[in-house]
Amino acid sequence: MPSGAVPSPEPVSVLVGENTRIHSQLLAGALKADPRIHVLGAVCTTAEFDALVSQQIPQVIVLSASLDEDAQLGISTLRSFHQAYPNVPVVMLLDSCKRELVLDAFRSGAKGIFSKNDSLETLCKCVLSVHEGQVWASSREVRYVLEALCAAPTIRAVNKQGINLLAPRELEVVQCLAEGLTNREIGKRMGLSQHTVKNYLLRIFDKLGVSNRVELLSLTMSHQSPAPQPRRETPDAPPLLWCHYAAERGVPYAQLLLAELYAEGKSLPQDLVSAFTWYQVSEAMSGTVRDKIHAAKLDLLRRLTPEQVKQARGKAEDWLRRNAPADGNRTKSNLKPPRTPGPDQRLAVGS
């Protein structure tokens, strides 16, 4: 080598995983054309992925959300790999960059989101960027993440000494619960069976001295201790702000908690019409705790005039008409975030 010459950096080792053999090989061939990238292998099944990773850990993984002809298996594979090798960046290939897919990919450990509609030349830039420690995402995908962070409450459960009562995995279960996920959805996100999720919840109930999900969320989201001390909350307390925001965005348990706050006059003036409205919305949006909601509505029916009940039901129907999806299935992705003043400032990371 001539004196003073700078040696060329070693190429970045990459493992490619696509949903079909031909797609995987085509993608690997395109990446090989870049001298800065060395492709270790191209796989299309989880068995092939595990076998190759057991032989050599790549520096970057490019993985499709679809593997073994399963639309979500790639994300489950990413989640398992990230738990074992958290420092290896993974770029998730998506056929459609829908909000929930993007969020699931980032929650599972992805460092980059790449649409299969983008150019292969751009994919090479994406791989090199995440290898250098950057996050690759479009401005829209970054906005999805920021909206999810704003909507998610801060979950805490501490004793009077301030010591955390829940383990990190248990806190993750409560966080999923606060987003309105069912046991099946929690299990899918965390890679657990529904039976295991149920056991987690029973242990959490036992630790915190609560008997159901609503009591659990009321406790953890209001940052109270298991033996609450008398205190006064101001109307702008963060838990109340979160409760309003999350309820408007379609989180069923936040809607139920807001109904209870209005009914009992906690943290805000008692408003039985608003309480009935949110009970009505929560009943329509949630597949759980129906008995509790029904009992609460019956109690309010005895305390409200027919005109007030009609007003509350009208408000609930208006909310559902504006926010519920056309197919009737509960979802949060179709709800519009609150508008903020000023120009539309957008952040693009790696695009």
What does the domain layout of the chain look like in residue ranges? 12-149, 152-231, 232-324
User: Is domain 152-231 annotated with CATH 2.40.30.10?
Assistant: no
168, 173, 178, 181: CA torsion to nearest 10: 150
Provide the token pair at 5. 């010459």
**What single letter denotes the amino acid at residue 259?**
A
Phi, psi for 261 (deg, rounded to 5): -65, -45
Run of H or E residues at 74: helix 73-84
Q: Are 39 and 16 in contact (CB under 8 A)?
A: yes
Tens digits of pLDDT across the chain (351 residues):
455 554 557 899 999 998 888 888 888 888 998 999 999 999 988 889 999 998 999 999 999 988 877 777 888 888 888 888 889 999 999 888 888 888 888 888 899 999 888 877 888 999 999 999 888 988 888 888 877 766 655 566 665 544 577 888 888 888 887 776 788 888 888 888 889 998 898 888 888 887 777 677 766 665 443 333 333 333 334 356 666 766 776 777 677 778 888 888 766 678 888 888 888 888 887 655 677 788 888 888 888 898 888 998 888 888 888 775 544 444 333 333 333 333 333 233 433
Q: What span, in angstroms and rounded, lies between the C-alpha atoms of 264 and 46?
A: 52
- What are the two backbone dihedrals, phi and then psi, of residue 231, each rounded to the nearest 5 degrees? -155, 165
Using alpha carbons only, give the angle 221, 184, 91 rounded to the nearest 5 degrees: 85
Q: Which residue has the tokens 């909507």?
A: 151
Which class is domain 12-149?
A: alpha beta
Cβ-contact 308, 297 below 8 angstroms: no
To the question of pTM greater than 0.75 for the whole model, the response is no
